[in-house]
Structure 1
Amino acid sequence: MKCREESQYLAGFSKMVFFDIVTQQFSQAFLWSILNTIRDPIFVKDRQHNWVFVNDALCEFIGYQRAELIGKSDYDFFCKTEADIFWERDELVFTTGVTDEYEELITDYQGETQIISTKKSLLSDEAGNSFIVGLIRLIASKNKIETALLRQTVNKLEEEIHDRQETEKRFRRHSTALQRLVQTEKLQHDDFQIAIQYVTEVASLGLDVGRVSVWLYTEKRLGIQCLDLYQRENNCHSHGLELFVCDFPNYFQALKEEQVIAVSDVHTDPRTSEFSATYTTPLGITSMLDARIWSRGQVIGVVCCEHLGIRRQWTLEEESFISSITDFVRLVIESRDRKIAEEARRQSETQLRQQTQQLEEALKELQRTQTQMLQSEKMSSLGQLVAGVAHEINNPVNFIYGNIAPAHDYIHNLLNLINLYQEYYPYPVPVIQSEIAAIDLEFLMTDLPKLLSSIKIGAERIQEIVLSLRNFSRLDEAEYKAVDIHEGIDSTLLILDYRLKARPDRPGIEIIKEYENLPLVECYAGQLNQVFMNILSNAIDALEERDKQRSQQEIKQSPSVIQIRTEIINQNQIAIKIADNGLGIPEKIKQRIFDPFFTTKPIGKGTGMGMSISYQIVTKNHHGTLECISSPNRGAAFVIVIPLKQQQ
C-alpha cells in the first residue's frame, strides 16, 4: 500500500516536473534535486525508450554514473533477454497509456538476483511529447535472505557452544578446588551413614539420654526430617526415615539465633509449645537438648538429644559437648555433599561434553548444508542459464533446419531446369557463356547439394547439443522421476565433448561404454547428471595432468581412456562405474576425497565441494552409496549404487 501511494504521488509530481522543465531552468534543477533525495530508483524514458532522467538511487542500483546512462537504452546495460522484456512492457505503456505494475527477478551489476517491484506510468509535456516515468521498489535479495537466516542460526549455535565450553572450564576449576578441599579435610569415616550412627551413639552415651537424632532441613517444606534416630533403650537405629516432617517455624527461628537450646521441661517451656501436642507429648519426651548444625553461614540441621520419662536440667558441660558433636556432624555432612557434588559434576561434565559434541556436529552439518545450499543455488542458476540458452538457440535452429528440405527441393528443381536448358539450347549466346565460365556453373551444380547437406548436418548437431543441454539441466523435475540413466550420461558426455577431443598438445580421450539393458530408474535426474559431470570432469583433469608428464611416444603406447559401465546388481539396485587409467589416488587423499572443501587442485581451479555434494546427492537424496576404488598408478574408479525405486 505504501509503494502504491508513493507511486501515485510520484506520478502527479512528475507531471508537474514535465510542465516546469520547459519554462523554468531553476525549477527544473530544484525538482531534480528533490527526486534525487528519494531512496527508491526513479527513471524517465522518451518515446525512443532512451533514458532522459535517472535519479541517484537508480545510478547506485545499476552501478553506472548518470552521464553514462542518459541517452542510452536497456540494451546497453542488460542482457538481451531482460532488455527485450523491458522494451515490450514500455511499448505497451506507450501505446495503451495504461499504467504497468509488476514484480520480477533482475540481476544487478554485482551478479546478485534481486526481487523488485516496478511501476511505469505514461506522461506528456505541453508539446505533446510522451514519456514513461518509472519507480522501482527493491523488495528483497533471495540469496541474502537465505544466507542471513543460515548465518543467524550458525551464530546462535556458535554462541551456545562457546557458553557450554566456558561452563565446562568453570566445572574443571571448581572440581580442582573441591579435590583440594577433600584432601585437606578428609574424614576418618568415609561412609556417611556409619559416621552419623557413630555421632548418635557417642551423644547418647556421653549425655546419658534415651534418644539422639540428627535432623536436616527438608526441601519439601519449612521443617526438618529425621536422618538417623538412635534409641538407647532398644539399642537400634532407624535410618533415612522421613519421621515427623513438621512445620515448627518459631522453634526453627530460635535455632537460627541460638547455637544450643536446652529445654528442661517441654510442658512449661514456651519454645516447645507449638509442637507439644503433635510431637513431644505423644512420644513421652520430657526434656530436650538441641544444637544447630551451622555450615557456610546458615543452619542446615539439628542434633537433637531427648530425655524420656523424667525432667532434667542440662549443664554447661553438656551444652558444650553437643556443640562439639555438631562440628563433627557438619564435617560429615559437608563431606557427603562434596561427594554428591563431585558425582553431579562428573555427570554434568559428561552430559555437557555430549551436548557440546552434538552441537559441534550440528554446527558442522549446518555449515555443510549452508555450503550445499549456496552450491545448489549456483547450480540452479547455471541450470536456468543453460535451459535459457538452449531455448534461445533451439528456435532459430528449428527455423534453419525446417527450411533445409524445401531449399533442397527448390535447388534440385532449378538444377533440373538448367540441365534442360543445356540439353535443348547447347549453344547459348556469348553473354551467357561468359557468365557460365565466370561462376564455374559445373562446379556450382556439383557443390551446392553438398553445401546443403553440410548445413543439415550442422543443424542436426546443434539440435543434439541443445537437447543434451536441456536433458542435463532438468529444471522441470523437482520430484523423483523414472528416467533413462544412459540418456543422462550421454548428455553429460556431449557437453564435455570439447574436452575429450584431440588437441595439438595431446591426443583425444577415448570413451568406452559398456551399457547393460537398464530399466527406467526413479531419481532426481538433474542431480545425478551433476554427479556424472563432477566425476567425469575430475577424470579428465587427472588424465590431462598425467599426459603433461609423459612423452608423445608414451601417450601413443598407452592412450587415455575413460570406461563407463552400467549393470543391474539385484532386483532393486543398479551400479554405475566410471573408471580412468590415470595416476590413481593415494590412500591419504582417498580417505578425504568426500570431505567438504578438500581439494588437491590449485587455487582457482577447484572449490573442494564437487565430490562432497556428489556424495550427499547419492547417499542422502537417493539412499545409495558412492565408493572410490583406487591405488597409485592404477587409475581410479567411482562406483555409484542406487535403488531402482525410491521409498516415498
Structure 2
Amino acid sequence: MISTKKSLLYDEAGNSFIVGLVRLIGSKNKIETALLRETVNKLEQEIYERQQTEKRLCRHSNALQQLVQSEKLQHDDFKIAIEYITEVASLGLDVERVSVWLYTEKRLGIQCIDLYQRENNYHSHGLELFVCDFPNYFQALKEEQVIAVSNVHSDRRTSEFSETYTTPLGITSMLDARIWSRGEVIGVVCCEHLGVQRQWTLEEESFISSISDFVRLVIESRDRKIAEEALRQSEMQLRQQTQQLEEALKELQHTQVQMLQNEKMSSLGQLVAGVAHEINNPVNFIYGNIAPAHDYIHNLLNLIQLYQEYYPDPIPVIQSKIVAIDLEFLMEDLPKLLSSIKIGAERIQQIVVSLRNFSRLDEAEYKAVDIHEGIDSTLLILDNRLKARPDRPAIQIIKEYDNLPLIECYAGQLNQVFMNILTNAIDALEERHQQQSQQKTKPSLGVILIRTKIINKNQITIKIADNGLGIPEKIKQRIFDPFFTTKPIGKGTGMGMSISYQIVTKNHHGTIECISSPHQGTAFVIVIPLKQQHFVQ
C-alpha cells in the first residue's frame, strides 16, 4: 500500500514548487513498486507543469511590466510604439512571429501594420488579408475575443490559410486577440508558433488579451493626437480666414469708394460676391469638422475619466506626465477651446451671408426682397465701427421694424444707400464725442434709430436717425449735390449722398429727405413704392 503527501513550498526568490512524500506500507512486491513508480511520475509531471506555468506567468508579468513602464508607448512615433509591443509580446509568449493588423477604411479586409520575426529581429508591414478570401476567420474574429488554435490546418477558423500562408511559412499554431475600440473590432494581434503544435493555456490567452489592450491604447492615443492636430489646424485656418475676411472687408471699403466715384456699381457687386464665395468654402470645411472633433475629444475625455476611476493610483511615469501636462486643466479647457472655434466659425458664416446680401449690386431687374435683411447686412458689415473704442463708447442701434411685405427693388443699390447714410451717422456721432471730449463735458451715448413702416397699401418708409451734432441749414440745402462734402480731403468724395439720391428717386421712384438742425441730430426719411411694375410699364 502506498501513502502520499504533497506540499507547496517557496524558495528565496519567491518561486513555488511541490515536494512529495511517498511511503510504502506493507510488502514490497512488484505491484506496489509499479504503483510507486506511477505516483512518482505523476508527481514529477505535476511539479514540471507547475514550474512551467510559473515560468510563463513570470514571463507574462515581466512583459506587461515592461510595457507599463516603457516611455516608448508615449512616443510620438506610432510605428516605434507598435514595434516595441510586438517585440515584447514575442518574448512574453515565446513565439517566433507576432503581428498587428488593422481593418482597412472600407472594412473589406485587414492590413498588417507590423510583423515582428524574432529569429532575425526583423520588422515588416503591408500584407493584406481580405474578408472574401477568409470568411471563417473573419467570422470568428467578430464572435471571439481570443482565437486559440493548436492545429491551424484542421481548425475550421484557420484552415483557409493553409495553402497560401501557414504551410509555406511552417506555422502550426496561432493565438490571436481582436482589438476592440469604440464599440467595434478595429483589428487583431496575431501570434504564430512554428514547429511542434502548441496547446495554448488560459494564462497565455489572458496575456495576449492584455497585449491587445496595449495596442488599443496606442491606437487611441494616435487618433487623439491626430484629432488635436486637426483641431489646431482648423483653429489656424479659422484665424487665417478671419484675417483674410478683415483684409477683404478693408479692401472692399477702399474699392467701394473708387467704384462710387466711377459709378461702377455692378463691378462692386461681383467683387463682394466673389469674396463671400471664396471665404464660404473653407469656413464650411472648418465648421463641418468641429462636430466630429467634439465627439473624438468627448470620447477621449470619457476614457481618461474611466482610467482615473478604475486606476486611481497610476505608475510614477504616468503620474508625472499628468502633472507635466496639467491634465485636469486640459480636460476642462479643451471643450471650451472647441466651443470658441465654433462661435468664431458661426460669426464668419454670418458675415459671409451679409456680404452676399450686400453684393446684389449687379442685378439688372427688380426683385422682391426683405428690406430688413439688407439693413441688417449693412449693419453687420459696419459692426467694427459700431463697437466701443478706447476714445468712445459703443454706438447703440435701435430697430423699430414694421411687418413689411417683400419690396420690389434693386436690393444692392438700396443697400448702398443704407451704407452711405449709416456711415455718415457714425461719422457724426464720432465728431460729437470728440467735441464733448475737448470741452470736457459728460459724454452722451451715441444712438442710431432705424424705423420702417407701411404708409399705405402702395408705399413704405425707412427712417434712419442719429443723435449727433446735426447739420446747419446751409449745408443741408446742398447735401444731395454732386461732389459736395464737408469732410477732409481723402475722407469724402462728395458722391455718396448724390448717388443715394439718384438711386432712391430715379431708380426706385421714391423720395429721400434730410431732416436736421444743429445739436438736434439728423434723420433721413426714404419713401419707396412696394412694387415697381407700374413705373416700368
TM-score (norm 2): 0.50
Q: Name which of 248, 260, 263 aligns with 1:376.
A: 263
For the residues of structure 2 that align with 1:554 and 1:384, how far apart are their CA atoms? 46
What residue number does 2:382 align with? 496
1:376 is aligned with what amino acid? E
| Residue in 2 that maps onto 1:386 | 272
* Conservation of the 8 A alpha-carbon contact between 2:401 and 2:451: yes
Structure-1 separation of matches of 2:438 and 2:296: 51
Mapped partners of 1:449, 1:439: distance in 2? 16
Give 2:502's aligned amino acid.
Q
Which structure ranks higher in relative contact order (CA pairs < 8 Å, sequence separation ≥ 6)? Answer: 2
Q: Where does residue 456 of structure 2 map in the other structure? A: 570
User: 1:475: how far off?
Assistant: 4.8
**Matched residue SS, 2:462:** strand
Distance 2:308 2:406 in 1: 59
Amino acid corresponding to residue 262 of structure 2 in structure 1: Q
Q: Deviations over 1:156-179 (max 9, x none)?
A: xxxxxxxxxxxxxxxxxxxxxxxx
Asked if 1:467 is matched to 2:332, the reply is no
Question: Which whole-Å deviations, capped at 9, do the CAs of 1:469-526 have from their partners, x for residues lacking one?
Answer: 1110115632100000000000000000111111001111111111111111000000
The equivalent of 2:420 in structure 1 is 534
CA root-mean-square deviation:
2.0
Among 582, 600, 608, which residue is 2:486 paired with?
600
- The DSSP-based 3-state class of the residue aligned with 1:551 is helix
1:190-205 matches, cutoff 5 A: none
8 Å Cα contact 1:468/1:494 also seen in 2: yes
Conserved? CA contact 2:268–2:361, under 8 Å: no
Quote how far apart the aligned CAs of 1:388 are: 1.6
CA distance in 1, matches of 2:440, 2:376: 29
Cα deviations by residue, 1:237-293 (Å, 9 ceiling, x for unpaired): xxxxxxxxxxxxxxxxxxxxxxxxxxxxxxxxxxxxxxxxxxxxxxxxxxxxxxxxx
Give the AA of the match of 1:375.
Answer: N
Counterpart amino acid of residue 485 in structure 1: I
> What is the aligned partner in structure 2 of residue 428 from structure 1?
314
Q: TM-score, normalised by structure 1?
A: 0.42
1:634 aligned onto 2:520: yes
Equivalent of 1:518, from 387, 391, 404? 404
1:353-403 Cα deviation digits (max 9, x unpaired) = xxxxxxxxxxxxxxxxxx9986331x3333322222211111111000001
Matched, 1:482 2:340: no
Give runs of aligned pairs for residues 11-50 of structure 1, distance below 5 A: none
Q: Is the 8 A contact 1:629 1:636 kept in 2?
A: yes
The answer on 1:413 being equivalent to 2:299 is yes
Give the conservation status (yes or no) of the 8 Å contact 1:564–1:579: yes
Gap change, CA 1:373 and 1:410, over 3 Å in 2: closer
CA contact (8 A) 1:585 1:631 kept: yes
The number of equivalent residue pairs is: 278
- Secondary structure at 1:570 match in 2: coil
Match of 2:61 in 1: none
Equivalent-residue separation in structure 2 for 1:554 and 1:593 (angstroms): 30
Distance 1:578 1:567 in 2: 12
Q: Distance in 1 between matches of 2:523 and 2:290?
A: 45
User: Does 1:645 find its partner at 2:531?
Assistant: yes
The offset of 1:455, in angstroms, is 0.5
Read off the aligned partner of 1:606 and give its amino acid letter.
Answer: G
Of 395, 398, 411 in structure 2, the residue corresponding to residue 509 of structure 1 is 395
Closer, same or farther: CA 431–392 of 1 in aligned 2, 3 Å = same
| Corresponding residue number in structure 2 for 1:611 | 497
Q: State the alpha-carbon separation in 2 of the partners of residues 372 and 388 from structure 1.
A: 16
8 Å CA contact 1:372–1:613 kept in 2: the answer is: no
The amino acid of 1:601's aligned partner reads K
Aligned to 2:340: 454
- Separation in structure 1 between the aligned mates of residue 260 and residue 361 of structure 2, nearest angstrom: 16
8 Å CA contact 2:395–2:447 kept in 1: the answer is yes
State the SS of the aligned residue for 2:263: helix
Higher gyration radius (CA): 1
Quick one: percent identity of the two aligned structures? 86
Native 8 Å contact 1:619 1:626 kept in 2: yes
2:464 is aligned with 1:582: no
Does the C-alpha gap of structure 1 residues 487 and 407 become closer, same or farther in structure 2, counting only changes over 3 Å?
Answer: same
Distance 2:441 2:449 in 1: 17
Instruction: Report the Cα distance in structure 2 between the residues aligned to 1:498 and 1:485, rounded to whole angstroms.
Output: 22
Mapped contact 1:623–1:642 kept (Cα < 8 A): yes
Stretches (4+) displaced over 6 A: 552-555
1:422 positional shift? 1.1
Instruction: Trace 1:45-64 onto structure 2 (pairs within 5 A).
Output: none
Summarize deviations over 1:185-244 as a string: whole Å, max 9, x none. Answer: xxxxxxxxxxxxxxxxxxxxxxxxxxxxxxxxxxxxxxxxxxxxxxxxxxxxxxxxxxxx
Shift of 1:630: 0.8
Q: 1:565 to 1:605 in 2, by over 3 A?
A: same
Which residues of 2 match residues 200-219 of structure 1 at below 5 A?
none
- Closer, same or farther: CA 372–507 of 1 in aligned 2, 3 Å: closer
Q: Does 1:621 align with 2:514?
A: no
Confirm or deny: 8 A CA contact 1:547 1:555 kept in the other structure: no
Q: Secondary structure at the match of 2:524?
A: strand
Look up the SS of the partner of 2:436 in the other structure.
Answer: coil
Matched to 2:435, the amino acid is Q
Which ranges of structure 2 fall in alignment gaps of 5 or more residues? 1-254
Q: Select the residue among 430, 446, 455 that pairs with 1:560.
A: 446
Residues 114-125 of structure 1: matches in 2 within 5 Å? none
